[in-house]
Amino acid sequence: MRKIILALVSVFMAFPAICQNVEVGTMKKIETGSPAYYPVLLDDGKVLTTSADYTGLVLTDLQNGKSHVLSAASGAGYNVRVSADKKNVIYQECSYTTGRRMVGYSSYALENGASRRLQVPQRSRSVDFDGVYAVSEDLKISVYRNGQKTVLAPNGEHRRYIWPSVSPDGKKLLYTVSGVGTYVCNIDGSSPVSLGILRAPKWVNNSWVVGMENTTTEEMSVSAVVMSKIDGSCRQTLTPSSIVAMYPSATEHCVAFSTDKGEVYCMEININE
């Protein structure tokens, strides 16, 4: 009996605690006019969406439903960034020259709608995003600060690190070890904390992150939006099983996600710390 109890304790310790700290309010479908995916929710009540293959980038106002095409280029919706001051959207535009992939970068000012070219199409990225940010390079995490690069492998070498991002206060790092799970560690790579399986994770604030927990078979796809505290003490599923909810993005008051059918939803939330 003692062995059984110890085994059960080990199982429960391996998974974050389930809780109900997040109140879910009204869920609304966003009219996008055509199938849309991979939403990026902005603090000013707008959302960015793209196509299934990341071609094009569209900005939609959640209040009035009006949309504006920022780019029709290939790759424009992949790894979209918002500047540290939250005034500009930064996106890439891919093209091909003699069979070679070229990448350019542009910015869009949210205040006045002005567009600006940051980098002409070339083989590699030379533009430096402002603030502290992280990218996946050569299977590891590269953290950039004021043009200085630090390469990290918090869970050891010979692993594949994906979906890295820096917390709003610049003190923590969120990332996924492929085939293992998602973690939060200090910005220097120390003290990693496991959050379990949480795919495509993103920051909500300095204490919470959001991602998806999904399973796909030949017969069906199941995917739910999940929020977790960064210390692993609380984990909560937000979406009903009737919806295949994927690739969420969140602020402290709203979560946006897309479905396998190209529908985009936004639901109100209230976080009780």
**Residue 231 main-chain phi, psi, to 5 deg:** -90, 0
CB 246 within 8 Å of CB 212: yes
pLDDT tier at 15, thresholds 50, 70, 90: very low
**Rounded distance between C-alpha atoms, residue 138 and residue 125, angstroms:** 14
In this predicted structure, what is the pLDDT of residue 96? 86
**Is a pLDDT exceeding 70 seen at residue 213?**
yes
Residues 26, 244, 246, CA angle at the centre, nearest 5°?
85
**Is a pLDDT exceeding 60 seen at residue 79?**
yes
In this predicted structure, what is the pLDDT of residue 9? 35
In this predicted structure, what is the pLDDT of residue 220? 67
Please give the model's pTM, rounded to 2 decimal places.
0.88
Amino acid at 4: I
Lowest-confidence segment of 40-44, 110-114, 116-120, 121-125 by average pLDDT: 121-125
Mean pLDDT of all residues in 253-271: 96
Mean pLDDT of all residues in 38-56: 96
pLDDT tier at 219, thresholds 50, 70, 90: low
Question: Tokens 């029709």 appear where?
Answer: 72
Mean pLDDT of all residues in 80-103: 90
Question: Tokens 């300095």 appear where?
Answer: 206
